[in-house]
Amino acid sequence: MTDYKMHLLVCGGTGCKAADSDEIRNSLKYWIEQTGMEDDAQVVFTGCFGFCEKGPIVKVLPGNTFYVGVQPGDAEEIVKEHLVKGRPVQRLLYTDPVTKEEISDSKGMEFYKKQMRIALRNCGFINPENIEEYISRDGYMALGKCLTELSPQEVISEIKESGLRGRGGGGFPTGLKWEITNKSEADQKYVVCNADEGDPGAFMDRSILEGDPHSIIEAMAICGYCIGADKGLVYIRAEYPLAIERLKIALNQAREYGLLGEDILGTGFNFDISIRLGAGAFVCGEETALIHSMEGLRGEPTFKPPFPSVSGYLGKPTNVNNVETFANVPVIINKGANWFNKIGTEKSKGTKVFALAGKINNIGLIEVPMGTTLREVIYDIGGGIKDGKEFKSVQTGGPSGGCLTKDFLDTPIDYDNLIAAGSMMGSGGMIVMDEDDCMVSIAKFYLEFTLEESCGKCSPCRIGNKRLHEMLDKITKGEGEEKDIERLKMLSHVIKDTSLCGLGQSSPNPVLSTIANFEDEYLAHVNEKKCPSGQCKDLLKYEVVEDLCTGCTLCFRNCPVGAITGERRQPHYIDQSICIKCGVCYWKCKFNAIKLS
Amino acid sequence: MTKIKTLADLRKIKEEVQSKIKLRENSDHPEQVVQVKVGMATCGIASGAKETMKYFVDELEQQAIDAVVTQTGCMGYCYAEPTVEITLPGKEPVVFGYVNKDKAEEIIDVYIKRGALIDGIIPLAFRTIDD
């Protein structure tokens, strides 16, 4: 065993690397050698600490001393003062903006911990295939508490008091939904877990089911107790085989331990859960379509009311909640509504899980308290934009959401703020776009998705979205006219107003929000026939700059379609009618003689 | 397994499991156990977590290092999959990213056997429900 008494962790995240953390590390190493401490202290690079605005960051173990804004020149002082004499360097410590106190021990201080994990509390900690590990972390205690100490009414009040809202996208108050289903009179009721996660790039529900399936089982049983149901169903897409497998294992273990089945914990309460597999249609995430799919009918939505709480699966009162919503329930029961409702904003309580994707450094699954700003999510947790490029837009809410500009970076994220900003919470996909993304193409991409996924029941959605897509396609090919932008808006509003379900009602949102926030890009496409981000191939033109071309023939030899002609040592020429705009000549040319316009 | 019939039974199991875990974490005996947790959600497996896990199991056994290798769910660091959390006896858990076979070998040689850290550990910066 080596005997390092101290470890210096230097942030090697992209932000800190750009701010010279390589040099800091080298200086630290140099001074450690100079002071003869190389056997006592080790310097290592870490991943992003998620506090990039205060970088570069150096953390010293033991003691968790957290230095911010460190410069290479500070290395000598850190080594000589802190490592040798054991006196932390006061001037490099983080100063709390409120108390103005310098904070030396980062343990237990939360200033840089922007994330808070409630729904993901067990993901990555426990073995999902071992029920005892779940039990050791208070698993099934909430169910026990509900069954033995609380009446269904009391549990419902607790959930209402907590302010929990549906995490699938709609944001309907969960306690209220439970109350309505509880009040519906029937001989049989059902609890349904909606695990039909369909937004492109969203995978929070899958991760919860794969990492912590028992939390869903426990929450569904609690819900069953509240509404008076003894049967639960998990509707999950067949393309999530691992989640299904882990859920099956978890269900069997719960039955084996007597936590599902008859007379649970000797209280006379019966509850069991079965799995229904979906074929992966996006519209089946809509609750009426989901119920029809479970009944063996076509996965098409129907008019509400009646709401599923009154007449759902097989015509019986059915409570449908999303995976992440359920994952919060046991914590609320264990910790109390007053613990939960202190987290978040006035109208959106608790946390939200986001799948962070796109042009961002730390792609991943994150969970932040409601009210965290987009800037904190993108720059502090996400580590900023890839390759130091300029942020352009962030898309939230999937195909039903919208694209927000940098003007919204400081908007606190909650249900209502996102809607006010022209997007929505959705299930939690968050796709970050940089200066190279063309917003017209992005709108087209999302429409392609809804076009594929429209069930075809309503003409405005089935035909209207097709027409929208055609118009966008025209624009990206440089065949659009300014009038098309007005047409797009008008048709979008018609589709929104006349479609039956959420899919049609929200499918034009990406079009409307990109027109609202990036109208100049649309105008450049239709008026100047230019794509400002250089993404729309049909609008690009590769040309040889004759003065710079040396006639080296490199482009000629690499062109895959033979569009380039020219004599050796003479300027070459690109035949635009053959060119497929692959860009090979542009990247290969050593003399910058290929111009992109 | 006998069924849990009352809330008291459930509490008893919880305490038993917790004390088992505590014993494992706090033991300062020579036969103390290294804990290896491999993130095995779809994302991790797609990036090769199964091979990583197999490598840990085989290699630790071959080198006669007393270790418990288990799977866990997604830790959230998709950009750095496969991710592995190592807990040495009496120490805080450390998460390593991009753990392919080479990295796993380095982790065993440098961290597990010698206790020295390796570049690229992932700092955990989130609050839990118990904070």
Cβ–Cβ gap A1/B97 under 8 Å: no
A427: tokens are 């299930």
**How far does B3 lie from chain A, in Å, by closest CA?**
5
Residues A121-133: what's their mean pLDDT? 91
Task: Tell me the range of A335-344, A383-392, A496-505, B31-40 where mean pLDDT is highest.
Answer: A335-344
Does residue B31 register a pLDDT over 60?
no
Instruction: Quote the pLDDT of residue B20.
Output: 79
**How far does B128 lie from chain A, in Å, by closest CA?**
5
A467: tokens are 């027409």
Q: Which helix (H) or strand (E) covers residue A216, if one does?
A: helix A213-227
Instruction: Quote the pLDDT of residue A336.
Output: 96
Instruction: Quote the pLDDT of residue A48.
Output: 79
Residue of B37, B73, B113 with shortest CB distance to A207: B73
User: A143: burial class by Cβ within 10 Å (0-12, 13-18, 19+)?
Assistant: buried
> How is residue A314 annotated by DSSP?
G
Nearest CA in chain B to A252: B1
Does residue A94 register a pLDDT over 90?
no
Helix ranges (DSSP H) in A268-425:
287-294, 323-335, 337-340, 374-375, 415-420
Cβ–Cβ gap A120/B41 under 8 Å: no
Which of the four pLDDT bands, split at 50, 70 and 90, describes residue A112? Answer: low
Instruction: Quote the pLDDT of residue A342.
Output: 95
Please state, as a whole number, how many other Cβ atoms lie within 10 Å of the Cβ of residue A400: 24
Dihedral sign, Cα of residue A470, residue A471, residue A476, residue A478: positive
Percent of chain A clearing pLDDT 70 (strictly above): 97
Interface test with A, best of B1, B2, B4, B83 (most A CBs within 10 A): B4
**Is residue A144 a contact partner of residue B7, using CB atoms and an 8 Å limit?**
yes
Interface test with B, best of A53, A113, A244, A335 (most B CBs within 10 A): A113
Which of the four pLDDT bands, split at 50, 70 and 90, describes residue A64? Answer: confident
Tell the residue number behind the tokens 């329930």, with chain if given. A329
Which of the four pLDDT bands, split at 50, 70 and 90, describes residue A581? Answer: confident
**How far does B46 lie from chain A, in Å, by closest CA?**
11
Interface test with A, best of B78, B95, B96 (most A CBs within 10 A): B78
Cβ–Cβ gap B123/A46 under 8 Å: yes
Residues A210-218: what's their mean pLDDT? 96
List C-alpha distances in Å: A274 to A212, A234, A243, A252, A294.
17, 6, 14, 11, 11
CA dihedral A122, A124, A127, A128 (to 10 degrees): 60
Which architecture characterizes domain B28-122 according to CATH? 3-Layer(aba) Sandwich (3.40)
User: B106: burial class by Cβ within 10 Å (0-12, 13-18, 19+)?
Assistant: middle
Residues A128-152: what's their mean pLDDT? 95
Does residue B33 register a pLDDT over 90?
no
> How is residue A41 annotated by DSSP?
E
Dihedral sign, Cα of residue A384, residue A385, residue A391, residue A392: negative
Cα separation, A208 vs A187, in Å, equals 32
Does residue A250 register a pLDDT over 50?
yes
| A146 vs A113, residue with greater confidence | A146
Q: Which of A20-24, A353-357, B127-131 has the lowest mean pLDDT?
A: B127-131
Interface test with B, best of A237, A334, A365, A385 (most B CBs within 10 A): A365
Residue of B4, B37, B76 with shortest CB distance to A120: B76
Percent of chain A clearing pLDDT 90 (strictly above): 69
Domains, in order of start, for chain A: 6-103 (3.40.30.10), 131-338 (3.40.50.11540), 351-434 (3.10.20.600), 439-527 (1.20.1440.230), 541-596 (3.30.70.20)
Where are chain B's structural domains? 28-122
Residues A545-565: what's their mean pLDDT? 92
**Is residue B56 a contact partner of residue B78, using CB atoms and an 8 Å limit?**
no
Does residue A102 register a pLDDT over 90?
no
Residues A242-264: what's their mean pLDDT? 96
Tell the residue number behind the tokens 């007379």, with chain if given. A263
**Is residue A201 a contact partner of residue A357, using CB atoms and an 8 Å limit?**
yes
Instruction: Quote the pLDDT of residue B30.
Output: 43
Q: What is the mean pLDDT of chain A?
A: 91
Residue of B13, B17, B72 with shortest CB distance to A211: B72
Nearest CA in chain B to A57: B123
Instruction: Quote the pLDDT of residue B25.
Output: 63
Cβ–Cβ gap B4/A115 under 8 Å: no
Residue from A96, A97, A284 nearest A192 by CA:
A284
Does residue A1 register a pLDDT over 60?
no
Could you report the per-residue pLDDT of B69-125, keeping only the tens digit for each? Answer: 999 999 989 889 999 999 988 788 899 999 999 999 999 999 999 888 888 888 887
Q: Which of A101-105, A107-111, A480-484, A556-560 has the lowest mean pLDDT?
A: A107-111
Does residue A107 register a pLDDT over 70?
no
Residues A180-205: what's their mean pLDDT? 93
* Predicted model pTM: 0.88
Which of the four pLDDT bands, split at 50, 70 and 90, describes residue A77? Answer: very high
Does residue A326 register a pLDDT over 90?
yes
Cβ–Cβ gap A365/B6 under 8 Å: no
